[in-house]
Amino acid sequence: MRASASTSFRALACALALTSLCAEITAQGPGRGRRGRGRPPRAAPPPEPEKADKDKPVENWLAIQGGDVHIGNGSIIRRATVLLGDDKIHGIGHEIDIPEGAKILDATGKVVSPGFCAVKGSSMGAPGGRPQGKYADEVNPFDSSIKRGLAAGVTSFLIQASPGRDSIAGNSAVIKLAYGDLDGMVCKEDAVFSIAVPLAPLKLRDFRNLVEKAQDHRDKLEELGPDEKKPKAPTGTEKILAIMEGKAKLWISSGRGFSVENIRKAMEISELLGVGVVLDNPSAAWVIPDEIATTGSMAVINPRERLPEEPGNEDNTGSNIASAAILNEAGVPVAVTPPAGRFGGPSPGTGGIMGQDLNTPHIDAAYAVRGGLDNRKALRTITLDAARIMGVEDRVGSIEVGKDADLLILDGDPLHYKTFVQVAIVNGKIVYEKDKEPFYSHIKR
């Protein structure tokens, strides 16, 4: 799989200003591809990347030179330099001034990519089960499975515990594989809440009442003057308000075989909240992609999973290997993940489908390509769009100035089955080097 060449840029400031670099992000924003029936819900304000503070003195500079840089939004800058200052990205382009004393990594002939974002993960330094308090208090930065995850290209993942069933609930966090760095491991607490459809009539009534209370609370806040005391949120609306305000994502599940009927029930919830939601493995989403796009919702797809069609209703049931491509065409952001409980499960493990290998996220992106998704857009399913689905696209998922310095140096195309991670960088620190770890150091090319 080869991505076509893109325009070369002279500097980051110029690059970000050019349409060819930014068009893909704009096209795949919250309102992209919205068409079909109904009024689009009010979109949550998108988070903006935190710009690198040039006035703050940088203690450690790291420059990656000569690699083909996959931005993460579909664009590529050939033979470019990426400059990292401490834990942030400070520059990308062809004429980047390298500060004196900076560490240099030669990536000539290699690929530089955003770190892979796994939308479903476990272990890799995270506590098992529901945490007793904050995830930040229970992560283990020296867990040996962190290195296995880094070898698979994972630099961050979403972990969920105690998911909601008939009401919005759950504990979650986006964890970084910042080996040896306790303070750098938790990217975001309470990133995601969840609920399952269909809701029983009484539960749906209760949910509607809570949403109405939350909206009334928001309306009252908007009417208050700057010096007026803000009222406390009504009991039970805290998570709903976080979702409405774009502080957390709502994932909606429906068990194995997410039918068209239940997808539409999930879209009703999206319309009630006024924001897009995340459909967790909606096997029938390929049947009504435009309806999903109209709400600004997103989807997590298992490209390898196979569900049989219902006899007599083959055109509207069962799984479809082309689901990711069909949803993308309609304007629905997609992330991919392995089927739970197979080939090592949804987090890196041994016994993967490629043999005695790590269950690497790029294999599922490659399956999406097999189903017709463009190669560059497939990379988004484990980088930028995956970060959006986890609610942390302001920090990770693409190589942009001000974002966290989470990158990979690869020895080939990011989605090729032969490609190995040579170096993994998290928060600006080198945390994995293939030649110094036991997993693949013996394999030479």
Which sequence spans correspond to the domains of the chain?
Answer: 12-436
* Residue 138, burial from CB neighbour count under 10 angstroms (0-12, 13-18, 19+): middle
Nearest to 21 by CA among 64, 68, 69, 74: 74
Q: Is 97 exposed, middle or buried (0-12, 13-18, 19+ CB in 10 A)?
A: exposed
Helix (H) or strand (E) holding 150: helix 145-151
**pLDDT tens digits, the chain, 445 residues: what are they?**
333 333 333 343 344 343 343 333 333 333 333 333 334 454 445 555 455 555 678 999 999 999 999 999 889 999 999 999 999 999 999 999 999 999 999 999 999 999 999 998 888 899 887 888 899 999 999 998 899 889 989 999 999 988 888 899 999 999 999 999 999 999 999 999 999 999 999 999 999 999 999 999 999 998 888 888 888 999 999 999 999 999 999 999 997 788 999 999 999 999 999 999 999 999 999 999 999 999 999 999 988 888 888 888 878 888 899 999 999 999 999 999 877 654 445 555 544 444 445 567 788 899 999 999 999 999 999 999 999 999 999 999 999 999 999 999 999 999 988 899 999 999 999 999 999 998 888 888 7
Question: Could you give the dihedral angle defined by the CA atoms of residues 272, 276, 281 and 282, in that order, rounded to the nearest 10 degrees?
Answer: 60
Distance set, CA 438 to CA 147, 236, 387, 429 (Å): 10, 49, 29, 20
Phi and psi of 400, rounded to 5°?
A: -140, 150
Residue 267: its pLDDT value, please?
Answer: 97
pLDDT of res. 353:
42
Specify whether the CB–CB gap between 229 and 172 falls below 8 A.
Answer: no
Give dist(CA 416, CA 439) in Å, integer.
18
> Contacts from 129-138 at CB under 8 Å and sequence distance 24+?
129/161, 130/161, 130/162, 130/171, 131/161, 131/171, 134/186, 134/189, 135/159, 135/171, 135/173, 135/175, 135/186, 135/189, 136/173, 136/185, 136/186, 136/189
Model's pTM, two decimal places? Answer: 0.84
Fold topology of 12-436? TIM Barrel (3.20.20)
CA–CA separation, 37 vs 15, rounded Å? 37
Q: What is the pLDDT of residue 360?
A: 72
- pLDDT of res. 347: 55
What is the model's pLDDT at position 308? Answer: 83
Please report how many Cα atoms fall inside a 13 Å half-sphere around the Cα of residue 73, on the Cβ side.
20
Look at strands 76-85 and 61-70 and give their pairing.
antiparallel
